[in-house]
Amino acid sequence: MARKFFVGGNFKCNGSLASIKTIVDGLNQADLPSDVDVVIAPPAPYLHWAKEHITGNVAIAAQNIYDKESGAYTGEISVSQIKDVGATWVILGHSERRTLLSESDEFVASKTKFALDNGVSVILCIGESKEEREAGKTLEVCNRELDAVVAVVKDWSNIVIAYEPIWAIGTGLASTPEDAQETHKGIREHLAKVLSPEQSEAIRILYGGSVNGKNATSFKDCPDIDGFLVGGASLKPEFVDIIKSRS
C-alpha cells in the first residue's frame, strides 16, 4: 500500500504575526508537490490568520485541545473552537506536554478520542527519553503510549503517528535512518498485533527529532518512514526543502 508522504510543521511557542506571515508567504510562493500532505501548527492566536492567508492544500493544526467541549477550564482550547477558526488537525501527546505539563498516557488518549469523535484528525506523538533508549526500552515506551490510545480508539484512519525520540528534539541530534527505520518497523508490527495488519499498513508514521533540510533526504529509502513532524526547521525557509525531500 502506498502511503501519502506527510510533512507537519510544529511552530511550538514561537513566532509573532510578522514571522508567521513570512512563513505563510514562503509556503504560498513555493511550488509545493501535490503528492505531499502538508500541515502547519502555529501558536493558537495565529490559527485563524494562517487559515485565512494560506493557499493551496496546506492544512492547519492546533498544538493542543482539551477533552471537554466547553466550560470552566481556564486557558484550555476546545475542539469546536479550533474548528471554528479553520483547523482540521491537532498535535497531541508531544513529549513537551507529557514531560513539562505531566500529561499522562490516559489523558493523551482521552484527548485523542475526543478530537476524533468531533471530526478533527490527530498527529499522535510518541517517543522515548535518552535514559529509556540507553536501557533498551524504546519500543516498550512507544508501545505503552500507543496502547493507551488503542484502549479507547479502534478506528485509526484519521491518526498519523509521529515518532519523536525525546533525546533528539531540538538537540541537533537525530537517529540514523537505519535506527529510525528499525523503530518505525517495530511500531508498525505492534500496531498490526493490537489493531489489525490492514490498519497498521495504512497508518502513516512520521519521524521527528532535529529533521532539517540537509538530512531529510537521507530517510527517503526507509519503507516505514512516511514523512516528518518538523520543529525548529519549520520556522525557516528550509521547511520547503523538507516538504520536497521525496520529489
The answer to whether residue 94 is catalytic is: yes
Query: Which residues are within 8 A (CB) of 4 and not within 5 positions of it... i.e. 6 or more apart?
Result: 35, 36, 37, 204, 226
Q: How confident is the model at residue 143 (pLDDT cuts 50, 70, 90)?
A: very high
Domain layout of the chain by residue ranges? 5-12+19-243
- Provide the pLDDT for residue 224: 97
State the catalytic residue, choosing from 69, 94, 145, 201. Answer: 94
The yes/no answer on whether domain 5-12+19-243 falls in CATH 3.20.20.70 is: yes
| Residue 164 annotated to the active site | yes
For 107, the grid coordinates are 489523558
Please state which of the ranges 50-54, 154-158, 218-222 shows the lowest mean pLDDT: 218-222
Mean pLDDT over each residue of the chain, to the nearest integer: 95
> Residue 109 in contact with residue 151, Cβ under 8 Å?
yes
Residue type, 177: P
Which pLDDT score, from 0 to 100, does residue 172 have? Answer: 67
What is the mean pLDDT of the segment spanning 143-170? 93
pLDDT tens digit sequence for 89-98: 999 999 999 9
Judged by DSSP in three states, 24 sits in helix
Whole-number Cα distances in Å, 131 to 112, 128, 134, 144, 170: 27, 8, 5, 16, 17
- Tens of pLDDT, residue by residue over 6-40, are 999 999 999 999 999 999 999 999 999 999 999 99
Q: Is 231 within 8 Å of 10 (Cβ atoms)? A: yes
Q: Which of 96, 128, 145, 164 is catalytic?
A: 164
- Nearest Cα to Cα of residue 10 among 245, 246, 244, 227: 227
